């Protein structure tokens, strides 16, 4: 359910090498970032930027940035072009993954805020592929402890991240799979506001908090103080105004993730949370799908819910 039809055009490895792959309307290029510190794997459809994988010098974490049909950024970059932090909670950036407590023989590390010399680093681009259906990236991302005084240089997790970007029926779809291989015995801990797979809308949404809206499934679950608790969570939808338009983003959470809580904030940061224990060499795979729609108005709740239910069923069946 996560794979599009593909034909290989090129493979890129990190070596200062500029590679552009092209397939019809889709292109993908690894290059210096024209908006932020570091580099971007630039994903475009018909010449307009749709998404970009952000990494490199000046970036403590790796993440996927999302844009609308006119190339306007929808997700939070966390930084200004000169590297200064931007907006509230600048550690929330685009589509990202992390835990604020990863316990190991090195102690407890915060791979969410990354305030104490922890870091996530792109080690290799295993695949960079454009097809008529979209773009696929296969990436190796290393998660490092702040304590690097050992033979592994503090390596906690070797994450094999696959990202697929497409535009079925004129809406942007992002499928992300994170296959995390423990490099030592680990305990993934924290709380729902600071762990899991999350999306953060652009910091400009912070000024529109009174207009933002959430829906989730199961529908009868009470919201609580920015949290929804259930073993049957399926999806969350967030609607927000930005750039003079309205946008809808739905995050689908497949049952194999075994999520237990949904975190949401009115400024546009949300995601699903779980804890886990991993022995050295053990693998934990987390998958998510994001669907982006552009609208002239906030939309009807029933229509949004019906479409999200259909999207979820299409993903799992």
Tell whether the model's pLDDT for residue 168 goes beyond 80. Answer: yes
CA 196 to CA 283: how far, in whole Å? 16
Q: How far apart are CA 317 and CA 308, in angstroms?
A: 14
Q: How far is CA 28 from CA 5, 11, 36, 114, 160, in A?
A: 17, 11, 18, 29, 19
What is the residue extent of each domain of the chain? 97-195+206-316
Q: What percent of the chain has pLDDT over 70?
A: 93
Q: Is-contact 116 146, C-beta < 8 A?
A: yes
Residue range 35-50, pLDDT digits in tens: 999 999 999 999 999 9
* Cα–Cα distance, 280 to 186 (Å, whole number): 7
Q: How far apart are CA 317 and CA 315, in angstroms?
A: 6
d(CA 4, CA 310): 19
pLDDT tens profile 178-194: 999 999 999 999 988 99
At residue 151, the pLDDT reads: 86
pLDDT digits (tens, 9 = 90+) for 90-144: 899 999 999 999 999 999 999 999 989 999 999 999 999 999 999 999 999 999 9
222 or 185: which carries more pLDDT confidence? 185
Report the run of H or E that residue 166 belongs to, with start and end: strand 155-166
Region class of 113: left (phi > 0), else alpha (psi between -120 and 50), else beta: alpha
Question: pLDDT, tens digit, for every residue of 239-275?
Answer: 999 999 999 999 999 999 999 999 999 999 999 999 9
Contact 279/183 with Cβ under 8 angstroms?
no
The whole-number pLDDT of residue 278 equals: 98
Q: Report whether pLDDT(299) > 90.
A: no
pLDDT of residue 135: 98
Task: Return the HEC string of 56-108.
Answer: CCCCCCCEEEEECCCCCECECCCECCCCCECCCCCCCCEEEEEEEEEEECCEE
Mean pLDDT for the chain?
91
pLDDT at site 147: 94
pTM for the structure as a whole: 0.92
Distance CA 258, CA 253 (A): 9
Residues 6+ apart with CB under 8 A from 249: 74, 199, 201, 237, 238, 290, 291, 292, 293
């Amino acid at each position: 359910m996560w794979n599009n039809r593909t034909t290989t055009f090129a493979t890129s490895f990190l070596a200062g090498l500029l590679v552009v792959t092209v397939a019809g309307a889709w292109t993908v290029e690894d290059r210096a970032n024209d908006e932020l510190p570091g580099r971007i794997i630039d994903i475009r459809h018909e010449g307009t930027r749709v998404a970009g994988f952000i990494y490199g010098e000046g970036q403590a974490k790796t993440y996927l940035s999302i844009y609308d049909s006119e190339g306007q950024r929808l997700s939070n970059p966390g930084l200004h072009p000169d590297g200064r932090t931007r907006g509230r909670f600048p550690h929330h950036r685009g589509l990202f993954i992390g835990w604020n407590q990863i316990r190991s023989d090195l102690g407890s590390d915060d791979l969410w805020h990354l305030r104490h010399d922890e870091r996530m680093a792109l080690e290799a681009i295993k695949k960079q592929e454009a097809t008529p259906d979209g773009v696929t990236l296969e990436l190796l991302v290393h998660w490092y402890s702040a304590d690097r005084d050992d033979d592994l240089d503090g390596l906690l997790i070797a994450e094999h991240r696959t990202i697929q970007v497409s535009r079925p029926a004129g809406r942007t779809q992002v499928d992300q799979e994170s296959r995390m291989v423990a490099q030592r015995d680990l305990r993934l801990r924290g709380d729902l506001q600071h762990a899991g797979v999350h999306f953060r809308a652009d910091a400009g949404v912070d000024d529109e908090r009174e207009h933002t809206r959430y829906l989730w499934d199961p529908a009868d679950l009470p919201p609580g103080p920015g949290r929804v608790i259930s073993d049957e969570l399926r999806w969350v939808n967030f609607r927000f105004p930005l750039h003079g338009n309205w946008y809808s983003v739905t995050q689908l959470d497949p049952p194999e993730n075994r999520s237990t809580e949904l975190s949401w904030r009115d400024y546009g940061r949300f995601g699903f949370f779980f804890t886990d224990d991993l022995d050295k060499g053990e693998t934990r795979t987390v998958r998510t799908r994001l669907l982006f729609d552009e609208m002239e108005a906030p939309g009807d709740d029933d229509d949004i819910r019906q479409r999200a239910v259909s999207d979820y069923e299409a993903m799992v069946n």
